[in-house]
């Protein structure tokens, strides 16, 4: 019985950890689960290859929280160790015209781009102290005719960043994780894999630099809901639909802001939460 999901935490349980798969728990503002997979031998069975998968879980990301600043700082602290020194390229994946697929695009719009500022304002000490960051939201292949991986690789070959951060909407199998979960991974991502529309993989192997993937599950397919709630298998040939939260507009906006703020703090440690919030 298959459960379609982009989340590593839904493929592995603490009670049944395969050899070579490790799990740690931590967190304050979030409940954080870190899963480390030693090699690619479980890629077929778990759907996840070698790498680190960090899942941050909370109440709905669409709601205001008194712990918001702590959540942003904790997210930034989880991202920082994955990013090498040097220039970083941030890419927002997805389709801005489909609300449930717009998390990546909306997040990228809130990333502080500094690459051009340092070239233009060389005498500004503060600007020169910021990490060089560039950002792009290229749309989906149906809009551009270009594979996302091809577009990002072309940009990387020109600007030669030390790492790429990609942000995308994800799919989950547990409806309680819709809009309540953020996944960070250093193993890259295959855009569209959660909705059976996988494109070329974005990974360090293909890009030539580390690729950090960050996403929020915004959809779950109806077959997976039935399977997970009833244990009854569903014929894949039967019609299927994607289900998304009723407050998807608010979820997309607030989740993208949270992710962007966390990335900005991780990339620019000299900035404070108030600095980042005041920029957007």
User: Are 42 and 89 within 8 A, CB to CB?
Assistant: no
Q: Which two tokens stand for residue 89?
A: 């390229």
Specify the pTM: 0.92
What distance in Å separates the CA atoms of residue 102 and residue 218, rounded to the nearest whole number? Answer: 10
Q: What does the pLDDT look like over 131-149, one tens digit per residue?
A: 999 999 877 776 777 888 8
Structure tokens at 111: 């990333």
Half-sphere exposure of 226 (CA within 13 A, CB side): 13
Tell me what pLDDT residue 194 has: 46
Longest dimension (CA), the chain: 66
- Distance separating alpha carbons of residues 55 and 176, to the nearest angstrom: 14
Q: Are strands 211-221 and 88-92 parallel, antiparallel or unpaired?
A: unpaired
CA dist 227 and 210 (Å) reads 36
pLDDT at residue number 269: 93
Q: What is the pLDDT of residues 16-43, one digit of tens each?
A: 888 999 999 999 999 999 999 999 888 8
Q: What is the pLDDT of residue 119?
A: 59
Whole-number Cα distances in Å, 219 to 50, 186, 197, 246: 25, 22, 14, 11
Q: In angstroms, rounded to a whole number, what is the distance separating the alpha carbons of residues 264 and 160?
A: 20
Distance (Å, whole) CA 159 – CA 115:
10
| More confident of the two residues 45 and 166 | 166
Strands in the chain per DSSP E: 21-26, 31-37, 51-57, 88-92, 133-136, 163-171, 181-185, 211-221, 242-243
Exposed/middle/buried for residue 200 (C-beta within 10 Å: 0-12, 13-18, 19+): middle
What's the pLDDT score for residue 207? 93
Domain residue ranges of the chain, discontinuous segments joined by +? 8-272
How high is the pLDDT of residue 234?
85
d(CA 57, CA 69): 15
Q: Please, what is the average pLDDT of the chain?
A: 90
Q: Are 41 and 50 in contact (CB under 8 A)?
A: no
Residues 6+ apart with CB under 8 A from 274: none
Query: Per the structure block, which two tokens stand in for 26?
Result: 């931590």
Q: Taking the CB of residue 141, how many other CB atoms lie within 10 A of it?
A: 18
Residues 149-194: pLDDT tens digits? 899 999 999 999 999 999 999 999 999 999 999 999 999 897 755 4
- CA separation for the pair 49, 92 (Å, rounded): 22
If DSSP codes are grouped into helix, strand and coil, which group holds residue 11? coil
pLDDT at 79: 98
Residue 13 has pLDDT above 80, yes or no: yes
What does the pLDDT look like over 185-198, one tens digit per residue? 999 897 755 455 55
Phi, then psi, of 230 in degrees rounded to 5: -115, -20
Instruction: Specify whether the CB–CB gap between 219 and 181 falls below 8 A.
Output: no
Reported as a single tens digit per residue, the pLDDT across 221-236 is 999 888 888 888 888 8
| Statement: residue 4 has pLDDT above 90 | no
Candidate from 78-82, 191-195, 251-255 with smallest mean pLDDT: 191-195
Superfamily the domain 8-272 falls into: HybD-like (3.40.50.1450)
Q: What percent of the chain has pLDDT over 70?
A: 91
């Amino acid at each position: 019985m298959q459960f379609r999901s982009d989340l590593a935490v839904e493929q592995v349980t603490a009670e049944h950890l395969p050899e070579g798969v490790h799990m740690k728990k931590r967190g304050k503002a979030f409940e954080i689960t870190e899963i480390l997979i030693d090699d690619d031998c479980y890629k077929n069975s778990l759907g996840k290859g070698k790498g680190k998968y960090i899942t941050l879980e909370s109440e709905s990301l669409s709601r205001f929280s008194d712990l918001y600043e702590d959540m942003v700082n904790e997210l930034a602290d989880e991202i920082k160790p994955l990013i090498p020194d040097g220039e970083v390229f941030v890419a927002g994946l997805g389709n801005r015209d489909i609300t449930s697929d717009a998390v990546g695009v909306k997040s990228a719009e809130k990333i502080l781009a500094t690459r051009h500022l340092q070239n233009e304002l060389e005498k500004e000490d503060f600007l020169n102290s910021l990490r060089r960051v560039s950002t792009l939201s290229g749309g989906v292949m149906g809009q551009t005719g270009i594979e996302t991986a091809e577009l990002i690789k072309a940009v990387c070959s020109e600007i030669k960043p030390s790492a790429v951060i990609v942000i995308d909407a994800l799919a989950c199998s547990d409806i309680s994780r819709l809009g309540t979960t953020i996944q960070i991974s250093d193993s890259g991502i295959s855009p569209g894999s959660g909705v059976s529309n996988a494109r070329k993989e974005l990974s360090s192997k293909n890009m030539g630099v580390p690729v950090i993937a960050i996403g929020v599950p915004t959809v779950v397919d109806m077959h997976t809901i039935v399977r997970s709630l009833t244990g009854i298998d569903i014929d894949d040939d039967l019609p299927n639909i994607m289900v998304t939260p009723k407050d998807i507009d608010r979820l997309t906006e607030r989740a993208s802001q949270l992710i962007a703020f966390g990335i900005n703090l991780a990339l620019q440690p000299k900035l404070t939460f108030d600095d980042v919030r005041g920029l957007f």
